[in-house]
Amino acid sequence: MKLTKFTDPLPIPPVLKPKWKSKEYTYYEVGMRETKQSLHRDLPKTTIWGYEGIYPGPTIEVEKGEKVFFKWANDLPARHLFPIDHTVHGAEKEIPDVRTVVHLHGGRTEPASDGYPDAWFTKDYKIKGAFFQKQIYQYFNQQSARALWYHDHAIGITRLNIYAGLAGFYLIRDEKERSLNFPSRPYEIPLLLQDRSFHEDGSLLYPEQPDKNYSGIVPSIISSFFGETILVNGKVWPYLEVEPRKYRFRLLNGANSRFFGLSLDSKQLFYQIGTDSGFLEQPIGVKRLLLAPAERVDVIIDFTNLEGKLVTLKNDAPTHFPIGDPVDPETTGVVMQFRVNKTLSTIDTTVIPPHLDLIGRLPEQTVWKYRFLELSEEKDQYGRPLLLLDKKKWDDPVTENPIVGSTEVWNFVNTNGDDHPIHVHLVQFQIIDRRPFDVEYFKSTNQINFTGPPVSADPTERGWKDTVRCPPGQITRVIIPFFPYTGQYVWHCHMLEHEDYEMMRPYIVRPLY
Ligand SMILES: [Cu+2]
């Protein structure tokens, strides 16, 4: 189906109002509901699942240190929108199809509120997963200003629940951020980038099986999903009318598997000011931004002196990164359009300050433990690709068990052809470097034979991160301080089709004594 680009204005999700708020704490209730929503002018309305019945969900804004409580209520129908593969762990036939659990991605959250994949619940909490602990989650927001996001994390069907629409922004604000005088609302806009395919009737299309299904299982998990259209904030190829001034955009790749390599056709720079987890030390001007699923960047785009111009945000990341086909310049190569056609309402006094934050590199001398964790491709019993972490499955005993307060270096040894965005819950980390190694030699001897020098993290990733791209044939090293909570969390690939099918592992932060 061919959809015309730039027919719909960019929607901006509303900011959610708390149920009540006192000096001590804030309480929100969010219902997950099925509704119909227009995702493009020429498409019939699409059935989606949304937090508060909208896709993307409302933006949540909190202050650093604010104690916030959430009730995430599942008010969804009993039937899922998409085909469920019951051979996938945790999604067996006897388990209810429609179950949800919310994870605040990038949040420093206690285990009971972190949205553990087996802590799912059905409507009215009638049936609950084995790890379910409480209805009211707490987020204490002991983190500096940054863009987190909330999304579903239910075991075995996360890819389907997020595809249905269950994702939204969660912004932490602080004094420091306000003192930096960035463009603020309405000149600060979150952009959720995703890809989707549609049936003629406007319904979302999620494949029932891979293109070449050798397993005979239907429905069958696919190894990655790539949609035919690009959506921003839930609209296919939208446009945004802007004034000739600076804007701040909070970009989030919320796609199931697609990477985005972003640039502006005006050849302008993005002034990147932040990463997944707060500000960079200083802003950097870049022509291209690479974003894997779940990664965020905080950027300023300056439309000053561009009156009357049209600026297209483009994507050049191969579909199935990095080895897949190039994007189609007419479809998946296009993200959205900026139209500099509004008159300047007030003088733009915002700045891009030369210095943003003190980050400081974590010294390797403080490291208690080095772990080598292979990202490998195997075959399942039906002959389908099976991507594993450390050659272990979700149900295998916990092997990563850092002590609270300790710092570790995790080496992600990628022996297969995909670039996997690895996300570790609870913590933020710094990327040390990436280094190519001899994959075949490693596979036969388990020894590492480097084939080139280490390359330090790209300037665009030299801040705190919670998701790291691990390219094929390289060892990606991150340094991680584990605190402040003890308990059971997860780490996983954030390509949702991988995460759902075993590329996810529990880990435990142990007490010191
Ligand atoms: Cu992966």
- Ligand 1 centroid distance, CA of 499 (Å): 7
Q: How confident is the model at residue 50 (pLDDT cuts 50, 70, 90)?
A: very high
Tokens coding 348: 């733009």
Tokens 């891009």 correspond to: 352
> How many other CB atoms are there within 10 angstroms of residue 214's CB atom?
10
Q: How confident is the model at residue 214 (pLDDT cuts 50, 70, 90)?
A: confident
CA distances to 52, 71, 271, 408, 484 from 358, in Å = 37, 35, 18, 22, 21
Tokens 């943003």 correspond to: 356
Instruction: For 274-293, give the DSSP string.
Output: EETTEEEEEEEEES-EEE-T
* Model pLDDT, residue 443: 96
Q: How confident is the model at residue 59 (pLDDT cuts 50, 70, 90)?
A: very high
Checking if the pLDDT of 377 tops 80, the result is yes
- Ligand 1 centroid distance, CA of 52 (Å): 30
Give the strand pairing for 239-241 and 334-339.
parallel
Read off the pLDDT of residues 290-326 as tens digits, 9 standing for 90 and up.
999 999 999 999 999 999 999 999 999 999 999 999 9
1-34 burial, b at 16+ Cβ within 10 Å, e below that, comes to eebebbebebbbbeebebeeeeeeebebebebbb
Give 438: exposed, middle or buried? Use CB within 10 Å, 0-12, 13-18, 19+.
middle
- Ligand 1 centroid distance, CA of 482 (Å): 23
Q: Within 13 Å, how many C-alpha atoms sit on residue 301's CB side? A: 31
User: In the sheet where 474-481 sits, what is the strand order?
Assistant: 385-389, 367-379, 407-414, 474-481, 430-436, 455-456
Q: How confident is the model at residue 342 (pLDDT cuts 50, 70, 90)?
A: very high
- Ligand 1 centroid distance, CA of 376 (Å): 9
Q: Within 13 Å, how many C-alpha atoms sit on residue 20's CB side? A: 3
- Ligand 1 centroid distance, CA of 407 (Å): 25
Tokens 């790291």 correspond to: 468
- What is the C-alpha to C-alpha distance for residues 99 and 121, in angstroms, rounded to an integer? 5
- Ligand 1 centroid distance, CA of 227 (Å): 17
- Ligand 1 centroid distance, CA of 428 (Å): 19
- Ligand 1 centroid distance, CA of 503 (Å): 7
Q: Bridge-partner residues for 393, per DSSP?
A: none
- Ligand 1 centroid distance, CA of 296 (Å): 17
Contact 235, 39 (CB under 8 A): yes
Read off the pLDDT of residues 124-165 as tens digits, 9 standing for 90 and up.
999 999 999 999 999 999 999 999 999 999 999 999 999 999
- What is the C-alpha to C-alpha distance for residues 510 and 308, in angstroms, rounded to an integer? 58
- Ligand 1 centroid distance, CA of 240 (Å): 33
- Ligand 1 centroid distance, CA of 487 (Å): 25
Read off the pLDDT of residues 435-463 as tens digits, 9 standing for 90 and up.
999 999 999 999 999 999 999 999 999 99
Mean pLDDT of the residues in the chain: 97
- Ligand 1 centroid distance, CA of 8 (Å): 33
Tokens coding 51: 């937090």
Tokens coding 40: 């493009």
- Ligand 1 centroid distance, CA of 470 (Å): 9
Please enumerate in sequence order all residues whose Cβ is within 8 A of that of 262, keeping only pairs 6 or more positions apart, or say none: 251, 270, 288, 289, 290, 291, 313, 314, 315, 335
Checking if the pLDDT of 1 tops 80, the result is no
* Model pLDDT, residue 276: 98
- Ligand 1 centroid distance, CA of 159 (Å): 12
- Ligand 1 centroid distance, CA of 124 (Å): 33
- Ligand 1 centroid distance, CA of 119 (Å): 23
Q: How far is CA 152 from the centre of its chain?
A: 11
- Ligand 1 centroid distance, CA of 492 (Å): 8
What's the sign of the alpha-carbon dihedral 240, 241, 246, 248?
Answer: negative
- Ligand 1 centroid distance, CA of 322 (Å): 12
Q: How far is CA 159 from the centre of its chain?
A: 12
Read off the pLDDT of residues 70-117 as tens digits, 9 standing for 90 and up.
999 999 999 999 999 999 999 999 999 999 999 999 999 999 999 999
Tokens coding 138: 């707490």
* Model pLDDT, residue 154: 98
- Ligand 1 centroid distance, CA of 417 (Å): 10
Checking if the pLDDT of 246 tops 90, the result is yes
Give the strand pairing for 167-173 and 487-493.
unpaired
Among 401, 123, 33, 104, CA closest to 277 = 104
- Ligand 1 centroid distance, CA of 468 (Å): 11
Instruction: Look at the chain and count its residues.
Output: 513
Classify 402 in phi/psi space as left (phi over 0), alpha (psi -120 to 50) or beta.
beta
Tokens coding 327: 């994007």
- Ligand 1 centroid distance, CA of 374 (Å): 12
Give 216: exposed, middle or buried? Use CB within 10 Å, 0-12, 13-18, 19+.
exposed
> How many other CB atoms are there within 10 angstroms of residue 175's CB atom?
11
- What is the C-alpha to C-alpha distance for residues 425 and 105, in angstroms, rounded to an integer? 7
- Ligand 1 centroid distance, CA of 421 (Å): 6
Q: Bridge-partner residues for 170, per DSSP?
A: 60, 148
Q: How confident is the model at residue 213 (pLDDT cuts 50, 70, 90)?
A: confident
* Model pLDDT, residue 104: 98
* Model pLDDT, residue 513: 83
